[in-house]
Amino acid sequence: MPPQGIEAARRVGVPVLVSALTVVEAVYGKTDEARLHWVLSRLQVQDVTQADSLTAVQLLSDAVGLHGHEYAIDALVAAMALRSPAPVLVLTSDRDDWSELCGEVPVSRRNARTR
């Protein structure tokens, strides 16, 4: 989500949640650390719980053709979305995977950057 989207959500009282795993997945060598900390200060970074892990395992076992480390973070984020109060908007680059993981329960939309 672009910073202006985060600020717009905050202005109307909509919490913007992100998995701690997503932070790790999204950061790469050219990431500006000061900007990362600024963006994270505007988000609610969510820890992954044991219950999330077990839900992710179940989602992966129910999904056709999704397994292994390639889908682990998506499954954990899906589990976290499913435990969040509705409505939930998930920004993802893997929309097809999300349909496999949890159908249309969380609404998924491609991220404006690359997703």
Indicate the burial class of 88 (C-beta count within 10 angstroms; 0-12, 13-18, 19 or more). Answer: middle
Output the pTM of the full model: 0.74
Say if residues 73 and 53 touch (Cβ distance below 8 Å). no
Instruction: Output the six-digit token pair for 97.
Output: 């995977």
Element (H, E) at 22: helix 20-26
Looking at residue 25, its pLDDT comes to 83
Element (H, E) at 46: strand 44-46
Q: How confident is the model at residue 7 (pLDDT cuts 50, 70, 90)?
A: confident
Instruction: Output the six-digit token pair for 109.
Output: 């939309």
Looking at residue 1, its pLDDT comes to 59
Instruction: Output the six-digit token pair for 15.
Output: 């919490």
62-90, pLDDT tens digit by residue?
888 888 888 898 899 889 888 888 767 67
15-73, pLDDT tens digit by residue?
788 888 888 888 888 888 898 898 888 888 999 999 999 999 999 998 888 888 888 98
